[in-house]
């Protein structure tokens, strides 16, 4: 047997010409269970106020669709080459609100691929490990400081110095972003990083002489 025949045989042996219904049902069922677990982790680690119903449904569908594609690819060489060519021209242009949503989408694709290929142990261990990492990362970031804009409107002239002193006493990382002053009032904007416990600082700023309004604006990009 020549070298070319050996390569051809090894390639063809990697494809299963006949896939049983049990294998298909088991792969799709396992991919669905993995998708439900991913959805649970997504809801536990979500940063927004409300989850996107459409995105959650997409997570469930993408996992099973990926498993179905892999089942098709592993069954026929010609179909696998044709599907790779077809998928190469697909473009997704939907903007995701959070950068972490991209990771969850890739996680669903990976779970679907491993389930469709029959590597159920990899799917199980991988989902448990990634889910644990996601929960730990979410807990660490939520306990840390967050960037805010502190917007102060005052009628007194020395408010900026009082605010600077108050922020320094509370060990707040800050940067003066804007100072607007006219005949009636002055508006001061600070870029600050505070934790959830330090947000009570807003009430303390409000009690300073001459301060009329205080706003704390979340300026996170992700």
Which tens digits make up the pLDDT trace of 181-194? 877 788 888 888 77
Residue ending a domain, among 80, 109, 143, is 143
Give the number of other CB atoms < 10 A from CB of residue 185. 15
C-alpha to C-alpha distance for 119 and 83, rounded to whole angstroms: 21
Same domain, 16 and 119: yes
| The pair of three-digit structure tokens given for residue 6, joined into one six-digit string | 């050996």
pLDDT of residue 107: 93
Same domain, 95 and 195: no
Q: Are 123 and 30 in contact (CB under 8 A)?
A: yes
Instruction: Kindly report, residue by residue over 7-48, the tens digit of the pLDDT.
Output: 455 444 555 556 778 888 999 999 999 999 999 999 888 865
Q: At what angle do helices 120-143 and 99-116 cross, to 10 degrees?
A: 170
Same domain, 138 and 198: no
pTM: 0.63
pLDDT of residue 7: 46
Same domain, 130 and 175: no
Same domain, 139 and 167: no
Same domain, 121 and 41: yes
H helical segments located in 97-200? 99-116, 120-143, 159-169
C-alpha to C-alpha distance for 191 and 179, rounded to whole angstroms: 12
C-alpha to C-alpha distance for 27 and 115, rounded to whole angstroms: 5
Same domain, 130 and 24: yes
Once rounded to an integer, what is the mean pLDDT over residues 55-64? Answer: 90
Residue ending a domain, among 119, 143, 167, is 143
Domain of 179, CATH number, reads 3.30.70.260
Domains: count for the chain: 2
- Residue 200 banded pLDDT, cuts 50, 70, 90: confident
C-alpha to C-alpha distance for 129 and 58, rounded to whole angstroms: 22
Same domain, 80 and 130: yes
Same domain, 136 and 155: no
Same domain, 173 and 136: no
Same domain, 13 and 63: yes
C-alpha to C-alpha distance for 101 and 55, rounded to whole angstroms: 9
Residue ending a domain, among 86, 109, 143, is 143
Cα 29-113-133 angle, rounded to 5 deg: 90
Q: Which domain holds residue 187?
A: 146-218
Same domain, 27 and 55: yes
């Amino acid at each position: 047997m020549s070298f070319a025949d050996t390569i051809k045989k090894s390639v063809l042996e990697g494809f299963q010409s006949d896939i049983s219904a049990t294998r298909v049902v088991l792969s799709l069922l396992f991919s669905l269970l993995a998708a439900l677990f991913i959805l649970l982790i997504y809801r536990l680690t979500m940063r927004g106020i409300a989850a996107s119903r459409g995105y959650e449904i997409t997570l469930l569908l993408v996992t099973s669709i990926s498993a179905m594609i892999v089942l098709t690819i592993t069954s026929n060489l010609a179909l696998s080459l044709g599907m790779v060519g077809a998928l190469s021209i697909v473009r997704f242009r939907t903007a995701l609100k959070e950068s972490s949503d991209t990771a969850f989408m890739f996680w669903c694709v990976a779970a679907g691929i491993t389930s469709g290929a029959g590597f159920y142990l990899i799917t199980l261990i991988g989902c448990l490990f990634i889910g644990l990492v996601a929960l730990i990362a979410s807990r660490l970031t939520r306990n840390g400081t967050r960037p805010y804009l502190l917007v102060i409107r005052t009628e007194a002239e020395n408010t900026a110095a009082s605010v600077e002193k108050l922020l320094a006493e509370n060990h707040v990382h800050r940067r003066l972003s804007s100072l607007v002053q006219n005949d009636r009032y002055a508006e001061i904007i600070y870029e600050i990083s505070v934790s959830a416990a330090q947000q009570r600082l807003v009430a303390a700023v409000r009690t300073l002489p001459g301060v009329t309004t205080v706003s704390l604006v979340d300026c996170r990009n992700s």
